[in-house]
Structure 1
Amino acid sequence: MKLQTAWLTILIALVLTLTAVVSAQVLDFKYLQDLSPPKTSQPVFLPGDVFLTRNANEEENTSPGFWNHCAIYVGDGQIVEAQQDPGEVVDSKLNEFMDRYPEIRVLRVRVAPERYGVAAASRATQLVGTKYRLTASISKALRVVGRGDNCVSTVRRCYQYSWDNDPRWRIPDGVNEYPAFRLVWEKGGL
């Protein structure tokens, strides 16, 4: 009986010691960092993923809200975005777009991205060459088809086509807060 008690005491002491060592390692912040993937590791982006960006220089963040630009991924390493210079909706290379902005958030449609995202991306490629118009998303009265698009109205028109419903986004923050999207990746000091 004494032998069993001694072994049980040793076993309990061993378990407590191992638990303390493991707990100390788990609580070590560096250890936790090593377990998590780096924030900047890039996932596979899907057609229809929406990119929200923010400039590092506060003076360049002229849009209301936190996010100041949005674009849509169309596949094959290409982004479609409305740019004030050159004054139209353009297609850009993903790697150049990523290098341009220090803070990026990527959203994906929650339900059937292979259907809705692909349809939105398809519509985006059709909008390339559309004239840029800064006020395109301010009010419905100012949204005249063919008069031009800004970054938000470009993405809105893509998803309006895909969903057959106008999400009514006015600023990039509206896209960020829209419940039909989920966060898939972000870069920067968010």
Structure 2
Amino acid sequence: MLVAVLVGSVVVSSADRRRPVWSLSRDVAAGTVLTGADLRPVRVQLGTAASRYLDADIAVAGRTVHRSLHGGELLAAAELADPEPGVTVTIPMQPENAPAISRGERITLWLSTKTCHGLVLLSGVPVQSADKVTGAAFGSATGSLLIVRISAADAKRVVSSLDLEGAVLRAGVLSPGEQPEPPSEALASCAGSAR
């Protein structure tokens, strides 16, 4: 009896052709730089499609995805790219100026001052990190620090907009499939007097 059980377990284990591949643990937008928290290994049997997916022993953290992907989706090799050259920028958001925003969502960022209202600074940009913070800058409320990776020119626009007198930044989340808004061409009308 013991021999039959042993032989049966050997046959079953040799028939298991599943292998660990990377799966996404949550939704991510196109352009998101993957971290370990975005990934989880799953054992699957893929048959002839196996070569399209990445084994879980291949390091993929630090690479970006070409398109928006959903949690639970297997990570195909063709979806990955090396990150575009860019600058990481932290954007402070007052609680009344943005909904709850999570890592991997795409946002539009608007600027308003005393001399201009609702100019688009960025749109369709994936949030690399979103942290809740409290402190003097946010009064008694809890604000957010949004971290985005953008081009050097866009980074300069965002940082210089924070120096404008009376600058208020507002953010909104784009729904899946929603097209980004084109950025406003010039911020000169927002300048007023610098701080």
Higher strand share: 2
Larger of the two Rg values belongs to structure: 1
The structure with higher relative contact order (CA 8 Å, sep 6+) is: 1
**Structure with the largest fraction of helix:** 1
Pairwise same-fold verdict (TM > 0.5): no
